[in-house]
Chains A and B, each alone.
Chain A
Amino acid sequence: MSGAQPLPGPLAGLRILELADETGQFCGKLLGDLGADVVKIEPPGGEHNRCIGPFLNDIPHPERSLAFWYYNTSKRGITLDLETVDGRQLFGRLAATSDVILETFRPGFLASLGLDYESLRKQNSGLIMCALTPFGQTGPWRDYLSSDLLHMAAGGEMASSGYDEADVPNAPPIAPGGGNAWHTGCHFAYMAIMGALVYRTVAGRGQYIDASIHEACALTTEAAIANYVYRGEVLRRQTGRHHAARPTPRTQFRAKDGAYVCALVAGRLTPKYIGELADLLDTNGMAGDLRDPKYQDPAVIAANTSHIIDDLVAGFIASLPAEEVYHAAQDRGFTWGAVRAPEALLDDSHLHDRGFWKKLEHPELGRSFIYPGEAAIYNGSPWRISRRAPLIGEHNTEIFCDELGLSRAELSVLAENRVI
């Protein structure tokens, strides 16, 4: 970074109040890393998902959850018990000067405290409130309990993912890992909030957003819904590749080092492609009979698809490490990729060129750690992690005293009474 004053992020100047657990905290991070001042409001003692591992050096502690660290960058943190009169009153004061409230409580909870949108907007007509919940604020499943796995089941992700019978007989449908039901809900919630913010720049008014994780997941299975709606087809699961109405050739091949390569070949097999494929396979002397002139005939290609894919492509990939196959193929215009474990990304030169990895200080530990960076480079208003995740109540003094004007004595009383 240069010595000049860095450009502000695109959301600079916005104040977000985040009342979010594991289901919605990623949305707050997306907003905060793009420059919004996100104030995370936790119950006294801290949000329960501070107890989700893995932990720093495997020592469980609410300040050592790496999941919490990751999903709460670029936020300030305060504690507040909304179930106390003082807590509600302080929350009302914060809401009066905020742009967005993001909340993930069960439907009706904030209203039961008198903190529903209609009450809060009376003192702030520009206020936007987004409730992101598992099923939305209405409907027969409104009060159902959920989890990441459950959303992947009901949303349709599992019905599409799994194994060929030949690879794993009787395999269950598989829910891809990593917490992507929460990510998906947060992506749509972010979009809805931004739509409301853009509208507010024109109309001046805020609004209420009722966002549903179940609906977000149900929307995120590409053509599965269209296959059913237009053709009545229910798709079958296949190892490492697209669901399909009828079996399709495999696309995942084991490389010499035991890692896999995703190589999309079927459906592209034209005479021109065969020539390019022969050049690629020849880089390791594995072109086999691909240079035979018979492959200038599309009918011969079609009759030999299995030989080309299962013998030649599979044999070539088995002869080299996955990373070498990946780069050799991509350099020649093949849309192939190595199946990497996440940690392999630390060695990806392309990500380094984009300045993707960020070194983030944890001053209380006297250490810095490497964090993943941005999905997109905003050339005119950069993405940045402004601070590591807040410690429990780290900004209580800064926000309650310096910004809301409470005295230190008042703050002490609030702490003694478990309001903060």
Chain B
Amino acid sequence: MSRPRALENIRVVDFSWVRAGPWATRWLGAFGAEIIKVEWPENERGRLPSTTTPQNLEVNLNTSGNFNDTNVNKKSLTLNVRSAKGLEVVKRLIAISDIVIENFSSRVLQKWGLGYEELRKIKSDIVYVSMSGYGHTGRNHHYTSFGPVAQAASGLTYLSGLPDKPPAGWGWSYMDDTGGMYGAMCALTGLYHRNITGQGQHIDLSQMVASVPLNGPALLDFTVNGRGSRRAGYPPGNRAHWPDTPLVNNYRGPTVAPHNAYRTHPGEYNDWCAIVCHSDEEWQRLVQVMGAPSWATSPRFATVAGRLQHQEELDDGIEAWSMNLGKYEVTGRCQAAGVRALPVQSAENRVEHDPQLRHREMYLAMEHPMLGLHKVQNAPFKLSETPTSNHLPSPLIGQHTREIVEGLLGYTHEELRAGFADGTFWPAKRVRFPYMEEMLQ
């Protein structure tokens, strides 16, 4: 590749595990930074347990599909940081790195002797991003979280669901994904600041706290107007407003109808299409798309107030039409007429059918030594000078230990072998992978 990379010559010491931290460094790697993932198989979390190993492969440290997608663009160094020798190695690595990032609970790095005060002694302008559940300051810093807990405690879960039902919440760890985003955002911002001022710093990110600003308008409705979200008709499912409840904005955009998901043909699990009309004109276009059925031309649907008032009947009428068409057909007909509509898409729909994602090359196949050739997710942005790319499959555990220890840090091959024998680079009694044996030849 001859194209320059945005983070050329930037090195990241990545202690992160599970999802949020690795999702952050994945993007720094896509920008071209060298990501050195420091791992230890005895307390690994992210490679195992794996529920995404292909059915034909044995589940082991190197066969998790989700680990692969979450950890492309990285190198792996296995190292027992809790040993004196391991600590010495990692300090030599930090001394020639730009960023240290981790998502342990709040006091772990300090206990290892790698708190910010120590880090800056090793590398004075280091950018240190800690991504703990509750942050390093505040009385609950020792609390632990992952996505669903951060979402619950921050108010995000509450915003999802039907009125008078339990919260539906988020069907995945939104705040592991988004917490990862903030980890990358903090690292890039700290790096920019360092390049301009020469100063490093400790950036104290909290997954739970980062969730709270995502509720901005709901919070202001309370702090300014005194109106809380625990109220009749909230949350209104996929609607902008729940019928027969007070007309109050729901923090997702304008209060309009139609604004819902409608069943489509053939009525299977993910056969739904979302349709929204932001104006009377858009509604009239939808009426035409539906073939101007007599119910829809009734004057009571001509205004947004009327459509909100008769929303049940409106939604029933639209669904009676949409049920006869596939979701992509509904989408195509609506969009061709200037009506807002998009299909509910499963993962399979996105990977196999979505013509836009295909055009934009969202999923490109990449070879992994154990998993084989599989599609990997790409960045949702295209930079004209420094395009991001997935240039390395996820590392096998310890795949780059020799390259880093000897090549980068200048230890001798004998020292590498000694470190394997004494449990610094791999647990002494644990079976080694074949590529480790080769490394020690």
Contact = CB atoms under 8 A, between A and B. Distances in A.
B145 interface: yes
Nearest to A69: B220
Interface in A27-42: 30, 34
B168 A161 contact: yes
A198 B127 CA distance: 14
Given A66-B220, A222-B176, A342-B155, A378 B203 contact: yes
Instruction: Say whether chain B's binding surface is mostly helix, strand, loop, or mixed.
Output: mixed
Given A339-B152, A350-B139, A371-B223, A221 B230 contact: no
Given A168-B165, A172-B237, A173-B272, 8 more contacts: A189-B381, A210-B382, A211-B382, A239-B169, A342-B158, A354-B209, A376-B210, A380-B200
A394 B411 CA distance: 62
The A interface is mostly helix, strand or loop, or mixed, namely mixed
Nearest to A323: B153
Interface stretch (B87-95, B349-357, B426-434): B349-357
Contacts of B335: 141, 144-145
A337 B152 contact: yes
B4 interface: yes
A372 B199 CA distance: 27
B357 A335 contact: no
Interface in B130-145: 133-135, 137-141, 143-145
Contacts of B83: none
Interface in A169-187: 171-180, 183-185, 187
Given A67-B251, A156-B345, A135 B356 contact: yes
B133 to A, nearest CB: 8
Contact of A156 (B159, B191, B346): B346
Contact of B167 (A30, A260, A369): A260
Contact of B159 (A176, A214, A226, A262): A176
B239 to A, nearest CB: 9
Contacts, number: 551
B225 A136 contact: no
Interface residues of B, number: 162
Closest 6 CB pairs of A and B: A380-B201, A230-B65, A215-B380, A160-B171, A53-B249, A342-B155
Nearest to A176: B160
A215 to B, nearest CB: 3
A339 B167 contact: yes
A54 B221 contact: yes
A330 interface: yes
Nearest to A227: B52
Interface in A51-67: 51-54, 56-58, 66-67
Contacts of A371: 216, 219-220, 223
A159 B270 contact: yes
B27 interface: yes
B205 interface: yes
Interface residues of A, number: 156
A254 B166 contact: yes
A330 B144 contact: yes
Contacts of A5: none
Nearest to B127: A380
A229 to B, nearest CB: 5
Contact of B238 (A58, A172, A189): A172
A203 B347 contact: no
A126 to B, nearest CB: 12
A175 B150 contact: no
Given A221-B172, A377-B137, A380-B199, A330 B177 contact: no
Interface in B186-201: 186, 188-193, 195-197, 199-201
